[in-house]
Structure 1
Amino acid sequence: MVSKFFYHFFKDKLLVPHEVSIYLNLIANLVVISIFGYILFKLLRFFGRKFLGKIAYKTKTSFDDLLIKNNVFRNISRIIILSLFNSSLHILLEALPLLYKYFEKIVSIAIILFTVWLIRSILLSIKDFLREFSAFKDKPLESYVQIFMVILWMIATIIAFSVLTDKSLYRFLTALGTFSAILLLIFKDTILGFVASIQITINDTVRLNDWITMKKYSADGSVIEINLASVIVKNFDNTVTSIPTYSLISDSFKNWRAMSNSEGRRIKRSVLIKVNSIKFIEDLSSFNKIELLKPYITNSLKEINRYNREKNIDKSLLINGRNLTNLGLFRKYLDEYLKQHPKINQELLFMTRQLESTPNGIPLEVYAFSKDKTWVNYERITADIFDHIFASIPYFDLEVFELPTGNDLNHLSK
């Protein structure tokens, strides 16, 4: 037999003792098989690259290219070689039954390992292929692959231990149950991440490319990866934050996706007006020159004068009856300004409202939605609106509240 060729060569030709010849025969056979296996692996790899590569290049689909890229055929080659080696072990180690038993277990575990790698390569190819479709670009496919791989590694580990210990799977699982509490502690983060990934997927809480804000982890940016252990966020300043996946279930965070998908981005900012600058208006001549206020002033004066006449109001004092105030006119002016602004979405709610007074003055808030939702453009639109507001305030004899500065205090002391 071929397996005993080197044994007879060492024992009969070189007169080596029987026991030594057995081990030398084993080493020689292993060297020959290793060389043969290496050559076979290279041939299979060459076949995969040249023949299958050409077929993949000619096909319209990219899936076969991804199979090659993710080493599917390389892992198949390894499994084929290991299977051939495993089938020849009983011949090689016929004279060493104890060694044959250990070698068989090692090779069997190696086959299990490469089978897991093969399945992983196929899953990665499927994931990369699905990424080419727009419907899957924002889906956490990495999490799906990792969830499947966790389950697969658990199954592979159980089978490997069963092979090592020569115990049936049923007996091994029964023994494993007694250590379940310890396993839960060891794999706590993995289990929490596993549960969180499923909940995030089902509830559609976070997708890839969503902009999220999470103060606890100083995260403020776009989600670039979602996996079992963490969610990776690329912040606006190009730093990267890693958030534990389970934190997106247990803690609060802000997702800006709804804003991105809506018809506008909200502007909600206020100006503090000094209370002592608010007054009734005696002379409207200067305000009539403001184009946006002309129709409002005309209609309001008619209504106010009619009301005051019907009620016989004594107008020797402005406080009597109905009157226009500079703050009221300014508020109406801002409403009209927003109404004609080309970058404010007129289909969504917009208004200027007066909030509850504070020790620092009366907040006059602008509430509107910009058509452009891009951050840079949104900030420019908001700044332009408030530049105009601050420049318009003196025309209404109003003042903006400011805390005293050093120069103000020096002026007061004089």
Structure 2
Amino acid sequence: MRPLQDLLDYPSMQTVLGVLALLALAWLAGHLVHRLSRRLVGSIARRTATHWDDALLARGTFRWLARALPALIIQYGMVLVPGVPANIEAMLGNLMTALVVFCIVMAISGALSASDDVYQQTPRGQQRPIKGLLQLIKIGLFIVAALIIIATVTGKQVGLLLSGVGAMSAVLMLIFKDTILGFVAGVQLSSNDMLRVGDWIEMPQLNADGDVIDIALHTVKVRNWDKTITTIPSWRLISDSYKNWRGMQEVGGRRIKRALYLDAASVHFLDEGEIRRLSHLRLLADYLPSKERDVAQWNQSLGKAAELPANRRRLTNLGTFRAYVQAYLDQHPQIHRELSCMVRQLASGAQGIPLELYCFTSTVAWAEYEGIQADIFDHLFALLPEFGLALYQQPSGGDVRAALAFRRGEPAESATDQRVLEFEEA
């Protein structure tokens, strides 16, 4: 015991032992508080139905608060350590104050992130995200904390530092240009309900075509259909145009707008035999008799002029086919009944006569939509010969070869050439 007593007689040794004891006490207190808080909050989180405690625990709010305790113990316990110079004590006190401020700011930042996590789980959180606003609050919070920490460590007044910041306002405006633009864009996007997480948007100028997965202060992330991620500056969604497919998803129908290009040479008037044959089609059972009566009444009203075939009205295979397609869409179980549905003939051109289908499916699922559209056109492609119509198709090498063989009277070389020869003979 005597050697220890001799050591304690030295003031410097008392100071060293006091500092070590203070550091050990600070570490032990911080460790115990951290473990106790984690266990306590964890047990409470498991018993409650709310998500706040889980979010605060996951974001480390309590962990940062526990880290502030050792700094407080060192700051207020330093006065009990003998032999510490006043300047060292003041410097350590300022450093510990700065550390406490930093821990509190990080705890507040974690609480803000936790509030965003809880808000995103609500229905309103899916429509109007607040992540950008919270990020702006965090930036302001960190700036204020940085000023307080610098003022505490250097011993300067915060007002003096703010005056220097005011002189550098032009530089700060340049540095935080994207932040200011992003905040303004975020307010406009949120207030006007222009964009939500989960919306399908198209922005060809930035190669974006997919679902919005994140709306932050500076950027909006879009997961494209090829699973790549496109990051768009928030202000570009205000300054540039983009297409939002949310309306389609809310209505519950996706548009089909595709044309059949018919060969103009295959359009003709229907004769009696063709009319009788087409009358057996279920979808034309009401159309053809009604149309024949209208045509007959019109022709009777012409008198002697009806003796000339060019003066009479007659049914065409194209008009009858258009009526069939309209009836086919009207009774199709996967076509939306409450949205527009029409079959229209567009202006003819070098590609033939476009017969366009304009309707909406009763589903917005991509794969189902493509399947419904393909089934409809498969059926119509196969049914065209029943009406004496043919699709327009630019001549291929086989078409030219078959046509030359037909001119020379040679047999066809393939089944495709044989069909071409039969068409030429017809």
Q: Same fold (TM over 0.5)?
A: yes
Deviations 1:312-367 (A, max 9, x none): 25445433132222111111111111111111112221010111222211211101
2:239 aligned with 1:250 = yes
**2:101 aligned with 1:112:** yes
Match for residue 337 of structure 2? 346
- What is aligned with 1:60? 49
Partner of 1:261: 250
Alignment partner, residue 309 of structure 1: 300
Q: Which residue does the alignment assign to 1:405?
A: 396
Q: Decide which of 171, 188, 191 is 1:199's aligned counterpart.
A: 188
Residue 394 of structure 1: how far off its partner (Å): 1.4
Q: Does 1:279 align with 2:268?
A: yes
Partners of 2:26 and 2:69 within 8 A in 1: no
Matches within 5 A, 1:54-133: 54-90=43-79, 92=81, 95-133=84-122
Report the counterpart of residue 376 of structure 1 in structure 2. Answer: 367
Q: Give the Cα–Cα distance (whole angstroms) in 2 for the partners of residues 313 and 289 of structure 1.
A: 33
CA contact (8 A) 1:280 1:318 kept: no
State how far apart, in whole Å, the 2-side matches of 1:27 and 1:258 are.
72
Paired amino acid for 2:377: F
Matched with 1:332 is: 323
What is the aligned partner in structure 1 of residue 412 from structure 2? none
**Deviation digits for residues 18-72 of structure 1 (CA, Å, limit 9, x no counterpart):** 8xx3xx6655444332221111011102211333332332233232233222222
State the distance in 1 between where 2:6 and 2:220 align. Answer: 63
* Distance change in 2, residues 1:285/1:9 (3 Å): farther
For 1:357, the aligned partner's letter is S
Q: Which residue matches 1:184?
A: 173
1:286-305 map, 5 Å? 286-305=277-296
Structure 2 residue aligned with 1:322 = 313
* Equivalent position of 1:36 in the other structure: 25
What's the offset of the Cα at 1:263? 3.5
| Amino acid paired to 1:410 | R
Number of the residue aligned with 1:4: none
Q: Which residue of 2 aligns with 1:229?
A: 218
Q: Is the 8 A contact 2:128 2:193 kept in 1?
A: no
Hey, what's the Cα distance between the residues in 2 that align with 1:9 and 1:78? 37
Aligned residues: 399
Asked if 2 retains the 8 angstrom alpha-carbon contact of 1:93 and 1:100, the reply is no
- Greater displacement, 354-363 / 327-336: 354-363
1:388 aligns with 2:393: no
Moved more, 146-155 or 251-260: 146-155
Conserved 8 A contact 2:300-2:306:
no
C-alpha separation between the residues in 2 aligned to 1:214 and 1:9?
A: 80
TM-score normalized by the length of structure 2: 0.86
Structure 1, unmatched stretches of 5+, are 1-7
1:349 partner SS:
coil
CA-CA distance at 1:380 after TM superposition: 0.7
Q: Distance in 2 between matches of 1:93 and 1:357?
A: 101
Q: Return 5+ residue gaps in structure 2 as ranges.
A: 406-426
The residue type equivalent to 2:68 in the other structure is I
The TM-score with structure 1 as length reference comes to 0.88
The more displaced of 387-396 and 88-97 is 88-97
- Do the aligned residues in 1 keep the contact of 2:317 with 2:387 (CA within 8 Å)? yes
What amino acid does structure 1 have at the position aligned with 2:45? A
Hey, what's the Cα distance between the residues in 1 that align with 2:58 and 2:111?
Answer: 10
SS at match of 1:220: strand
Are residues 394 and 26 of structure 1, via their aligned partners in 2, closer, same or farther at CA, if it must alter by over 3 Å? farther
Query: Which amino acid letter does the alignment assign opposite residue 310 of structure 2?
Result: I
Q: SS at 2:343's partner residue?
A: strand
- Alignment match, 1:3: none
Q: 1:167 and 1:319, CA in 2 relative to 1: closer, same or farther beyond 3 A? A: farther
